[in-house]
Amino acid sequence: MLLSKTEIQIDSQKLMSILARQFGEPVSELADWKIEPLSGGLEQNHQLFHLADEAVLASSATESMENSTGNFSHPWSLVLKIVHPLPETENDAQGIRYWKREALAYQSGLLESLSCGLTAPRCYEASQEGEDFWLWLEEVTDDMGKPWSLPQHYEIARNLGCSNGVFLVGKPLPQESWLSHRWLRKYVEGARPMVQILPELRRLPLFQRSFPHLNNDFLLEAWNQRGIFLEAIEKLPQTFCHQDAFAGNLFWRGQVGEKGMVTALDWAYIGIATVGEELAPLIAMSSFMLNIDQLFETCLEGYLAGLAESGWDGDPV
C-alpha cells in the first residue's frame, strides 16, 4: 500500500522494516494500517503523524502454519515526525532553532546514554528524505495523567535535577558541534521585537491575565538589565540540558513517590547550559494552572533533591 496524505507517501515495505526494529524480528504481514495527523508543539516546520494497527510477525506466521491455528496479530503504534528545513537557520548549527539538531541527536546515539530515569522515545530510524528529516519514534504515554499536581512536579524536577547533576560530578559533557550553547541568551535577544511593541501587548486581555502584577516599567527595567542577569547565569556550572522540559514535552512512567522514568520529547533545543536552567520551562509553562510560589518552591526542592541524588554536593545558593 502507498499512502499519500498531506503531501507524504509511506510505502508498506518501508513501514514493515521500521516495525521489524520495534518488534525485534521480521514482519510478514500488515493489515490496512491507519495514519492520522497529530497536533503538538509551537514550531511551524514539522508535522506529526500517528500510525497504528496490527501486524503478523514472521515467527507467528510460521507457528500458525505449523499448528493451523490462524494468524497471530500484534498491535503496534508509531509516531512519525517530519522536520522541514528552516531557511533562515539551515546552516547555523548554533541557531536556537537549528532544524537538524534533533535528528542529529538521535543519529549520534547521544540520547541512548541519558541518566537518572530521563529517557528519549526510542527512535527506530532518523533519516533524510529529500529536503526533510523523518523520525520514526516510539509512542509514549503518561502514567500520571495531566495536568500534573505539585507532588508530580516534584518527581519530574527530581529526575531533571539528577540527570543534570551527573555532568557536575564527572560525566563528560558531550562535544558535538551541533549542540546549542548560550541558547538562553540568544532566545532572550530574540524577544527584542516583542519588547518594542510592549505597550500594545499590555492592552491584550490574555497578556493582562497571564501577567496581572507586571507593569511596563518593571518589564522594561528587567529587559534593560538582561545582560547582568545573563552574565550571572552563565557563570554557573555547565551541564547537559533538554532546554524545553515542560509538561507538553514530558511523560512520566511510574508511581508518584517512587523512582520513575521521565521520557522527554522534542530535543530540538538540546545543548550545554547552566545548572538550574532546566527548571525555567517546567515552572513557567505550569504557572498558569498552579500557584506560582508553591510551584517554584516544589520544583526547586525536587531539583535540588535530584542534584543530591546524583552525588553533587555544591552550594544550592
Q: What is the CATH number of the domain that holds 29?
A: 3.30.200
Distance between CA atoms of residues 266 and 268, nearest Å:
6
Are residues 191 and 121 part of one domain? no
* Boundary (domain end) residue, out of 137, 170, 187: 137
Predicted confidence band of residue 201 (pLDDT cuts 50, 70, 90): confident
What's the structural domain count of the chain? 2
**Res 89: pLDDT:** 67
Of the candidate ranges 34-43, 54-63, 113-122, 175-184, the one whose mean pLDDT is the lowest: 54-63
Give the whole-number percent of the chain exceeding pLDDT 90: 58
Are residues 220 and 170 part of one domain? yes
Predicted confidence band of residue 70 (pLDDT cuts 50, 70, 90): low
Asked if residue 129 belongs to a domain, the reply is: yes
Residue 71 clears pLDDT 60, i.e. is over it: no
Per the structure, the complete domain to which residue 246 belongs is given by: 150-310
Residue 140 clears pLDDT 60, i.e. is over it: yes
Asked if residue 69 belongs to a domain, the reply is: yes
Asked if residue 144 belongs to a domain, the reply is: no
pLDDT in tens, 222-258: 899 999 999 999 999 999 999 999 999 999 887 766 6
* Boundary (domain end) residue, out of 68, 103, 137: 137
Are residues 112 and 213 part of one domain? no
Asked if residue 278 belongs to a domain, the reply is: yes
Are residues 178 and 118 part of one domain? no
Q: For residue 212, what is the domain's CATH number?
A: 3.90.1200.10
Of the candidate ranges 31-35, 274-278, 300-304, the one whose mean pLDDT is the lowest: 31-35
Asked if residue 143 belongs to a domain, the reply is: no
Are residues 157 and 130 part of one domain? no
Count CA atoms within 13 Å of residue 140 on its CB side: 23
The helix-helix angle for 226-234 and 216-224 (nearest 10°) equals 50
**Res 216: pLDDT:** 76
Distance between CA atoms of residues 159 and 261, nearest Å:
8
Asked if residue 75 belongs to a domain, the reply is: yes
> Can you read off the three cell numbers belonging to residue 151?
507532588
Residue 313 clears pLDDT 50, i.e. is over it: yes
* CB atoms inside a 10 Å sphere around CB 168: 19
Asked if residue 91 belongs to a domain, the reply is: yes
Distance between CA atoms of residues 34 and 225, nearest Å:
52
Are residues 282 and 203 part of one domain? yes
Are residues 289 and 158 part of one domain? yes
* Boundary (domain end) residue, out of 108, 137, 166: 137
Are residues 125 and 48 part of one domain? yes
Residue 27 clears pLDDT 70, i.e. is over it: yes
Predicted confidence band of residue 73 (pLDDT cuts 50, 70, 90): confident
Q: Name every residue whose Cβ is closer than 8 Å to that of residue 250 and which is 6 or more positions away in sequence.
A: 156, 262, 263, 264, 265, 282
What is each CA distance from 117 to 103, 127, 205, 252, 295, in whole angstroms? 22, 27, 40, 10, 22
Residue 196 clears pLDDT 70, i.e. is over it: yes
* CB atoms inside a 10 Å sphere around CB 32: 8
Asked if residue 315 belongs to a domain, the reply is: no
Residue 65 clears pLDDT 50, i.e. is over it: no
